[in-house]
């Protein structure tokens, strides 16, 4: 049976659900392969405007499948876990997280890789790797830029779990809300994102990655060129016309009219 469920709605929202609750949605070979396939589809399918990643059960993702790891097996057949993180971070589409359960170790890294995410405030998060004798190596690449060093040191070296509200304070997710408010908070984010132009969203996601890596003069030069290109494209012309006319732009038939 499939461990990752997908659904595309009429607005272009592609919902991906981790659906292996009996194994705490751990990153087994099968789940990882299916999730990578869904990630690839997001990038390649022009009908998809944005992706929402969520889960069934009480755990969003428990990280590596330790039972599978402990039994060994043919490592040559194992999927590349980096493809998960790179696929989301480098995706041209926005990724929204509906984190409806615990997110620890690699599962925390998966949540942190998303562009915009909301977690159930009662869910637990944690860098628990040191307690099984390993380090949060791969996910540190994602999480450390979001955190102050002193707080990262405390979280990673102590290996303790903390609640979703603390995860939001640390910057690992955008917000933590009571369970009953999770769907409404995610829906509000989705509505906001759908109000943006698809090409503009792709450009914005790209600059969020690249500008912090550039020196100031290079950043100004490259962003000035990007701004000029964007203002000339048809999407911007439609957006400015919609603003002038007080109407919704063509890409947002159900979006807000306020600016």
Residue 26: pLDDT over 70: yes
Q: Tens of pLDDT along 206-250?
A: 999 999 999 999 999 999 999 999 999 999 999 999 999 999 999
Residue 77: pLDDT over 80: no
Alpha helices in 10-148 (DSSP H): 29-44, 66-70, 82-89, 106-113, 137-143
Q: Tens of pLDDT along 35-70?
A: 999 999 999 999 999 999 999 999 999 999 998 877
- List 129, 151, 181, 199, catalytic entry: 129
76 pLDDT band, cuts 50/70/90, is: very low
Q: How many other C-beta atoms lie within 10 A of the C-beta of residue 22?
A: 7
Q: Tens of pLDDT along 120-161?
A: 999 999 999 999 999 999 999 999 999 999 999 999 999 999
DSSP code of 64? B
Going by C-alpha positions, the residue among 139, 189, 143 that lies closest to residue 170 is 143
Residue 101: HSE in the Cβ half-sphere, 13 Å Cα cutoff: 21
Task: Give percent of the chain with pLDDT exceeding 70.
Answer: 95
Residue 72: pLDDT over 70: no
Residue 103: pLDDT over 50: yes
For 132-145, give one letter per residue: b (16+ CB within 10 A) or e: eeeebebbbebbee
pTM of the model: 0.94
Instruction: Based on the residue annotation, tell me whether 129 is a catalytic residue of this protein.
Output: yes
pLDDT at 69: 78
**How far is residue 216's CA from residue 226's CA, in Å, rounded to a whole number?**
15
Residue 66: HSE in the Cβ half-sphere, 13 Å Cα cutoff: 14
Task: Give percent of the chain with pLDDT exceeding 90.
Answer: 90
User: Mean pLDDT across the stretch 77-92?
Assistant: 89
**What φ, ψ does residue 61 adopt, rounded to 5°?**
-165, 130
pLDDT at 242: 93
pLDDT at 104: 97
Residue 211 CA, chain-centre distance (Å), reads 19
Residue 81: pLDDT over 70: yes
């Amino acid at each position: 049976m499939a461990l990752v469920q997908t659904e595309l709605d009429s607005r272009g929202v592609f919902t991906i659900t981790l659906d292996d609750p009996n194994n705490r949605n751990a990153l087994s070979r099968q789940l990882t392969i299916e999730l990578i396939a869904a990630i690839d589809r997001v990038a390649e399918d022009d009908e998809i405007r944005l992706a929402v990643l969520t889960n069934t059960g009480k755990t969003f993702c428990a990280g590596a499948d330790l039972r599978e790891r402990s039994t060994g097996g043919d490592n040559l057949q194992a999927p590349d876990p980096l493809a998960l993180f790179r696929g989301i971070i480098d995706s041209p589409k926005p990724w929204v997280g509906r984190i409806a359960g615990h997110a620890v170790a690699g599962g925390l890294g998966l949540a942190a890789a998303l562009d915009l995410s909301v977690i159930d405030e009662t869910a637990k998060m944690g860098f628990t790797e040191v307690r099984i004798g390993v380090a949060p190596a791969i996910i540190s690449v994602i999480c450390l830029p979001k955190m102050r060093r002193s707080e990262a040191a405390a979280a990673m070296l102590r290996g303790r779990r903390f609640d979703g509200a603390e995860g939001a304070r640390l910057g690992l997710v955008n917000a933590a809300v009571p369970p009953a408010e999770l769907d409404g908070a995610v829906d509000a984010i989705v509505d906001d994102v759908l109000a943006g132009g698809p090409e503009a969203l792709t450009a914005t996601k790209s600059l969020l990655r690249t500008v912090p890596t550039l020196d100031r003069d290079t950043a100004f030069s490259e962003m000035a060129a990007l701004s000029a290109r964007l203002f000339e494209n048809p999407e911007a012309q439609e957006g400015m016309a919609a603003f002038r006319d007080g109407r919704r732009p063509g890409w947002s038939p159900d979006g807000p009219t306020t600016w």
